[in-house]
Amino acid sequence: MNTTAVQKQRSGVHISMRVISEEGKALIKMFEGCRTEAYLCSAGVPTIAWGRTKDVTMGDTCTQEQADDWLDEELEEYEGYVNEAVTVDLTQNQFDALVSWTYNLGPNNLKASTMLKVLNNEKFDEVPAQIKRWNKASGKVLEGLVRRREAEALMFEGKDWYDV
Residue 5 belongs to a domain = no
Residue 10 belongs to a domain = no
Q: What is the number of domains present in the chain?
A: 1
Residue 162 belongs to a domain = no
pLDDT score of 42: 83
pLDDT score of 15: 53
pLDDT score of 16: 63
Does residue 143 register a pLDDT over 50? yes
Does residue 4 register a pLDDT over 70? no
| Nearest C-alpha neighbor of 137 from the set 46, 44, 50 | 44
Residue 86 belongs to a domain = yes
Parent domain of 98: 20-156
From 23, 34, 41, 126, active-site residue: 41
Residue 118 belongs to a domain = yes
Residue 132 belongs to a domain = yes
From 32, 79, 152, 157, active-site residue: 32
Instruction: Collect all residues with Cβ–Cβ distance below 8 Å to 68 and sequence separation of at least 6.
Output: 50
DSSP, residue by residue, 101-148: HHHHH-HHHHHH-HHHHHHHTT-GGGHHHHHHT--EETTEE-HHHHHH
Q: Is 41 a catalytic residue?
A: yes
Domain harbouring 74, CATH code: 1.10.530.40
Does residue 9 register a pLDDT over 90? no
Residue 114 belongs to a domain = yes
Identify the three-state secondary structure at position 45. coil
